[in-house]
Each structure stands twice: as structure tokens, then as C-alpha cells.
Amino acid sequence: MILLVIAAWIGLSLAEKRAERHGIHKDDLNNVIFYGLVAFILGGRISFVLQNLPTFLKSPIGIVSINPDIFDAFGGLAAALIAAFIFGQRRELALWPTLDALTPFLAILSIGMGLAHLAAGTAFGKVTDVAWGINLWSATRHPTQVYETLASLLIFGLIWFKKHDPRPGILFLTFAALTAAAQLFLQAFRGDSTLILNSLRQEQVIAWLVLAICFIFIETRFKSSPKAETDSAAIHVK
Amino acid sequence: MQKNQRIILYILLLIAGASWVALSADKTGASTSGNIPAPQVGFAAPDFSLKTPTGESYTLSELRGQAVLVNLWATWCPPCRAEMPTIEAMYQEYKDQGFVVLAIDMTYQDDPFAVVPFTEEHNLTFPILLEETGDVAALYQLRSLPSSYFIDREGIISEVVIGGPMSEALLRTRIEQILK
């Protein structure tokens, strides 16, 4: 948790530095992230409660319990996306420039996630005899958390030092495509996959679909008029 | 890069990706963690045998088929003490459905004479086991007290809760999950 908080703080600081390059005021960026985080925490708790409603009806005080385990991460994520979207709509923020401005934040958060997995021993690898295997959970395993962290560092380097592309959305979509490709490759070494269709790893199938969607959106962004969108986004900087 | 070249590149990358998904399909190594004992969600709960203060012996593997809460605690630990009445209430409510609590006192770092008075004071009816060597603490890679392991009827750890006190709602959701 501490690693994720540190990552969020560093990510936000870096994203602020580049926000105006994408036509987004840094206060708006801060607010998008703030409302997103608040919605993540509240949404995660509410989603968990709704999924276990009979239990919480028996002991309603549990709804405000301090136990952090009463939390549904997917529900939290959905709530965060909805809150960020609503805030963006109310502030009339253009979608693609906002996503571009958020990209450094997401990239650093991804590094923090890898480090958090390493610290907790979660997202572990499958049993192996490679020389660089690590002893974890009673076996020598692929250090998938290290792979994940290195891949995230590489992706951050690529998007941070990438020459600025004036077409809104390309930076975010590049990050999303690279992350999906990294997951597609690295999930093959995981020892905690969910199997579907007898032996396929669900996480790889999802990553493949995300990659395909990113390619479609990158192509649509190439077709769009960059000047019109950057101009409309620039209005909010004033 | 021209549009046609880009589209060919996308298709080639997606074909390569799909091939990798197929090549790395793995029935045995991808999620067999349940066969290996480790104190982590998805793994088989590490087995142990311990005795109660009256000398009655309990072995975790002999409880296969029942839903088990393994709670590591000590009398000097305030959150451990705070959650015990709730655990007792849940034990009373769910024991007829096959729910068992094994509360393991870390006797090797606790006052052994404080355990029985504490259980009597709170009318705890589930088995209190004495861990006098530190072996089970090492087996469960104990980092902080209390630590709770919710183990399903197959002997697989379904949830780990580090710290406490656990609320009634949290206990209920986890117990109902392992009773399924």
C-alpha cells in the first residue's frame, strides 16, 4: 500500500510537469486524480457491501468498519473511472488530451504495482529451474514481479522520452498498447493464472483484446484532425 | 509509416500475440499452486499438529472437508484480544455448518499462564492451541499478530487477513465463502 501511495505521488508530480503540454491545467489534472481516488475508495467499499448485502444487513456497522479487506478492487476501479469521466464532462475536458496528461501518472503507478507485488509476494511466477529464479512460496519461481517492474520501467522510459506527438490520444494509446503487450508476454510465466477454455490464461486473452482495441483507436486517432482537438483543449489552460 | 504498412504491422503483432497465448497455454504449471503448501491465497494450507492446554491434539489436515479459520494470536496483543469475542460469536453461529476455528497462541513469545484465564474470561469454546516452538509461526511466515487464514473444505487458503481486529461483517463474508 505504501509503495502504491509513493508511486501515486511521484506519478502525479511528473504528470503535472507535462500536463500543459497536452492542454490540460494541472489543477484539473489534480482534481481528476483526487476525485478518482476518492471514488475508488468509496466505490470499492460500496461494491463489496452490495455483493455481500445479506451479510451487511445482519451487521450494518460493518459497512463503516476500518478493515481494509472489505473492498472490491474492480468495483473501486469502475467507480474511479465514472467519477473521473463525470468530472471531465463537467469541466469540459477533452478526453484524449486528458488521458495523455494522465499517462505519466499511470505509468509510474504501474511501476509501483510491480514493486508492491514483489513486496507482498503476490502475482507470483510458475515453478522454474532458471538460474535467476527466486525462492518464493515453497518453490523456485520465475521472478514475475521483477519482470513486471522492469517492463513498467521500460514503458515509462519510452513514453517519457518519446518525442511529443501533437495528435491527442497517441501517447496514452501507446502506453496502453505497450502495457497490454507486456502483460500478454509476461503472463506466460505466472503461476497464479485463471485458466479458460481448458488451458488458455484468461489474463493473456484480455491483454490480447486490449492490444487489438488499442490498435483500432490508434488508427482512428491518426485519421482525426490533431489541430482542432489541441485547440479545443487549449481553451481550458487559460 | 503509411497506413497500409501500419495495418500489416498490427495484424502481424496480433498474430504473434495469439500464437504466444497458444504456445504458453499451460494446464499444469499455470495455476497448480493449490498443490503446494504455502501461507498464501490459492495454496494448500501448511499442515501442523498442536495441542490444547489440556493435551488434546489437533492436526489441520484431519479437518479436510470442513471450513477452517486458523487464527494466530497472543494474549499480549490488543487487536487479537479484541476480535476473539466476535470470532466466538461466529463460531457459535456457523459451527453446525462445518466451520472450525483453530486459535493458535504464540506461546513461545507469550505468557503460557495467561492463555487459559483469557479463554475462560471470554468463554471461548473453540480449540486454543499452544505453539511452543515457533515452528508453525515460521511455517506460516508470521509477520504480525493477529494473522488469520480462511481455509476452504479442500484445504486451500481462500483468504488471508493480516492485522485486526476483524469486524463481524468481514468474518461473515469470509466464513460464508469457505463454507460454500
pLDDT at A64: 86
Condensed to tens digits (0 to 9), the pLDDT of residues B42-80 reads 889 999 999 999 999 999 999 999 999 999 999 999 999
Instruction: Give me the percent of chain B exceeding a pLDDT of 90.
Output: 80
Residue type, A49: V
Cβ neighbours of residue A41 closer than 8 Å, sequence gap 6 or more = A76
Are residues B57 and B21 located together in one domain of the fold? no
- Number of domains making up chain B: 2
Distances in Å between the alpha carbon of A71 and those of A45, A75, B118? 5, 8, 32
B24 to A204: CB separation less than 8 angstroms, yes or no: yes
Are residues B108 and B128 located together in one domain of the fold? yes
pLDDT at B50: 96
pLDDT in tens, chain A (238 residues): 789 999 999 999 999 998 988 999 999 999 999 999 999 999 999 999 999 898 888 888 888 888 888 899 999 999 999 999 999 999 999 999 999 999 999 999 999 999 999 998 889 999 999 999 999 888 899 999 999 999 999 999 999 998 888 889 999 999 999 999 999 999 999 988 888 887 889 999 999 999 999 999 999 998 875 554 454 444 444 3
Are residues B137 and B112 located together in one domain of the fold? yes
A208 to B24: CB separation less than 8 angstroms, yes or no: no
Are residues B77 and B13 located together in one domain of the fold? no
Are residues B126 and B85 located together in one domain of the fold? yes
Is residue B82 less than 8 Å (CB to CB) from chain A?
Answer: no
Shortest Cα distance, chain B CAs vs residue A124, angstroms: 10
Are residues B58 and B102 located together in one domain of the fold? yes
User: What CATH number is associated with residue B159?
Assistant: 3.40.30.10
Are residues B135 and B78 located together in one domain of the fold? yes
Distance CA B134, CA A114 (A): 32
pLDDT at A15: 94
Residue type, A110: S
Q: Which three cell numbers stand for residue A229?
A: 482537438
pLDDT at B32: 60
Are residues B15 and B63 located together in one domain of the fold? no
Cell numbers 489436515: residue: B61
Which of B10, B47, B83, B86 to substitute to test the interface with A, most A CBs within 10 Å?
A: B10
pLDDT at B33: 57
| A·B CB contacts under 8 A | 123
B38 to A137: CB separation less than 8 angstroms, yes or no: yes
B13 to A211: CB separation less than 8 angstroms, yes or no: yes
Helix or strand holding residue A217 (H, E): helix A202-223
Residue type, B20: W
Are residues B4 and B60 located together in one domain of the fold? no
B contacts of A71 (beta carbons < 8 Å)? none
pLDDT at A54: 87
Shortest Cα distance, chain B CAs vs residue A31, angstroms: 32
> Range of B97's domain?
31-179
A contacts of B169 (beta carbons < 8 Å)? 52, 55-56, 58-59, 61-63, 65, 70
pLDDT at A55: 84
H helix runs in B31-179, sequence order? 78-94, 112-121, 135-139, 168-179
B contacts of A134 (beta carbons < 8 Å)? none
Higher pLDDT: A235 or B109? It is B109
pLDDT at A192: 85
B contacts of A67 (beta carbons < 8 Å)? 161, 166-167, 170
By C-alpha distance, the chain B residue nearest A57 is B169
Domain boundaries, chain A: 2-24+93-237
A201 to B176: CB separation less than 8 angstroms, yes or no: no
Are residues B16 and B47 located together in one domain of the fold? no
Condensed to tens digits (0 to 9), the pLDDT of residues B114-160 reads 999 999 999 999 999 999 999 999 999 998 999 999 999 999 999 99
Distance CA A112, CA A2 (A): 9
Q: Which three cell numbers stand for residue A148?
A: 513486471
Is residue B20 less than 8 Å (CB to CB) from chain A?
Answer: yes
Are residues B173 and B159 located together in one domain of the fold? yes
DSSP state of A19: H
pLDDT at B40: 87
By C-alpha distance, the chain A residue nearest B170 is A70
Are residues B18 and B49 located together in one domain of the fold? no
B contacts of A55 (beta carbons < 8 Å)? 169, 172-173, 176
E strand residue ranges, A13-158: 134-136, 139-141
Q: For chain A, how are helix, strand and coil distributed in percent, rounded to 5?
A: 75, 5, 20
By C-alpha distance, the chain A residue nearest B177 is A52
